[in-house]
Structure formats: structure tokens, C-alpha cells
Chains A and B, each alone.
Chain A
Amino acid sequence: KAGVTQTPRYLIKTRGQQVTLSCSPISGHRSVSWYQQTPGQGLQFLFEYFSETQRNKGNFPGRFSGRQFSNSRSEMNVSTLELGDSALYLCASSHLPGTGGSSYNSPLHFGNGTRLTVT
């Protein structure tokens, strides 16, 4: 089956603009997570959605927001872009959301990311 699809692959924006990134999960997967990856900070968790509800949110400012649709597709939006928002944004889908205390956690299936450059 098709993997996780992220669009667009590359994006160049200027400071102050806003951007919307899209993620289509693997068919049947209802959990979608977003991560920001930079050379200095590594993979940082942004938020996770399951069945259209935000389950978890990382430590990012309110300029970063997301949503999930009834078909499990997800979008994330960044408003008032800053230079420091330049990064690879990765989306991951999984069959079930993570559960602390459980010995089983569905693996994450990642897309190839959207490379955002803010100038």
C-alpha cells in the first residue's frame, strides 16, 4: 500500500508569511504526528492527532498549529514565519496512538518530509 505522502517537498517563504503543509497517512492509519528536524535540535515533537482530536502537543509556540480531517489526512500551519523555522518537517502515521505503560506501541511510518526554508 502507498506510504505516507507529504506535500510539498520543498518550500521557500519569507519572514512573516504563513505556510500550510499537508500529510496523507497510510490507508487505515488514524494517528498522525508531526516533527520538526533541524541539525542542531534533532527531531522535535510538534503534535499528534488521532481521530481528528489533538492528543499531544510538544513545546512549540502557538504559531504552530495543526488539524486532522475525517479521512485522517492532516495539515500543519505555521504563521508569522521566523528564520528559525527553517527545517525539515516530518509527518508520521501509525495504526494506533502511542500508549505509555503498554509493551506495544505501533511503529511510526514517516513521509519524506517537507523542507521549509525561510528567508
Chain B
Amino acid sequence: TQLLEQSPQFLSIQEGENLTVYCNSSSVFSSLQWYRQEPGEGPVLLVTVVTGGEVKKLKRLTFQFGDARKDSSLHITAAQPGDTGLYLCAGIRNTGNQFYFGTGTSLTVIP
């Protein structure tokens, strides 16, 4: 089983809709990062959250780190076709020094 579970695994929505992607674990993380990967490319960092309860906004994207630092969510408002891609959460546990990646959420935004 993966240390970080993401849901949903696949998401196909119409342009203009809102969506939320979840990243959950039973472990505590020092920090958590979100990446987006487009076909044929490597993942690109979107944001890093470090404090429990922290909320960060990046234009139409809102990221939240759970109070207990075990989970995170990514909310996209008014999705656009350019948001299409694979969204990955990643973190380092409080104990240890290895990055763990989530199972990924493949998002398709239909024009």
C-alpha cells in the first residue's frame, strides 16, 4: 500500500466546474508538496505547505494542509483545459528523509 493515497484517481469534468483532490495518509509529514505532470514531461512543483492548517492560493488553485499534517487537499475553481494533467502530492515524514509520492490524480478538463 502507498503511504500517500490520493482520491479520486481519475477525474473528468467540464470547463468551468470546480473540483477537489485529496491526499491522505496515516503518517505525519514535515511538509507536503503538490506537483503537476503533463504528458511527456516530468512533474513540476506547484506549492509547498509546511504548517498544519496552512492554506495557500495560487490563482484558481487553493491548497490546504491538514491540522495534524497527515493530509492535504487541492481545490481548483473554474477549471480550464490547461489544468489537465496528473496531480501528485509528495512529502517527507517527520521521521526519515525520503520523499514519498501519492498515487496521483489524473484530471481531464473538457472544453
What residues of B have a CB within 8 angstroms of the CB of A56 in the complex? Answer: 97-98
- The CA-CA distance from A48 to B88 in the complex, in Å, is 19
Q: Is the CB of B98 within 8 A of A42?
A: no
Q: Is the CB of B93 within 8 A of A105?
A: no
Q: Mark A63-106, 1 if CB is under 8 A from B, else 0.
A: 00000000000000000000000000010100001111111110
Interface status of B30 (Cβ within 8 A of chain A): yes
Q: Is the CB of A105 within 8 A of B102?
A: no
Q: Is the CB of A100 within 8 A of B100?
A: no
- The CA-CA distance from A105 to B48 in the complex, in Å, is 9
Q: Is the CB of B51 within 8 A of A103?
A: yes
CB nearest to A50 among chain B residues: B97
- The CA-CA distance from A90 to B2 in the complex, in Å, is 19
Partner of B2, one of A42, A92, A104: A42
Please give the distance in Å from B45's CB to the nearest CB on chain A. 4
Q: How large is the interface on A (under 10, 10 to 19, 20 to 34, 35 or more residues)?
A: 20 to 34
Q: Mark B82-111, 1 if CB is under 8 A from A, else 0.
A: 000000101011111111111110000000
Given A99-B30, A104-B31, is A112 in contact with B40 using a C-beta cutoff of 8 Å? Answer: yes
Q: Is the CB of B99 within 8 A of A98?
A: yes
Q: Is the CB of A100 within 8 A of B96?
A: yes
Task: Tell me the interface secondary structure of chain A in the complex.
Answer: loop
- The CA-CA distance from A107 to B35 in the complex, in Å, is 10
- The CA-CA distance from A97 to B97 in the complex, in Å, is 8
- The CA-CA distance from A84 to B99 in the complex, in Å, is 23
What residues of B have a CB within 8 angstroms of the CB of A55 in the complex? Answer: 97
Partner of B41, one of A92, A97, A112: A112
Chain B residues engaging chain A, CB cutoff 8 angstroms:
2, 30-31, 33, 35, 40-45, 48, 50-51, 88, 90, 92-104
Jot down 22 A-B pairs with beta carbons below 8 A, ordered by A.
A35-B101, A42-B101, A42-B103, A45-B98, A45-B99, A98-B92, A99-B92, A99-B97, A100-B30, A100-B96, A101-B95, A102-B92, A103-B31, A103-B50, A103-B51, A105-B31, A105-B99, A108-B43, A108-B45, A108-B99, A109-B45, A110-B42
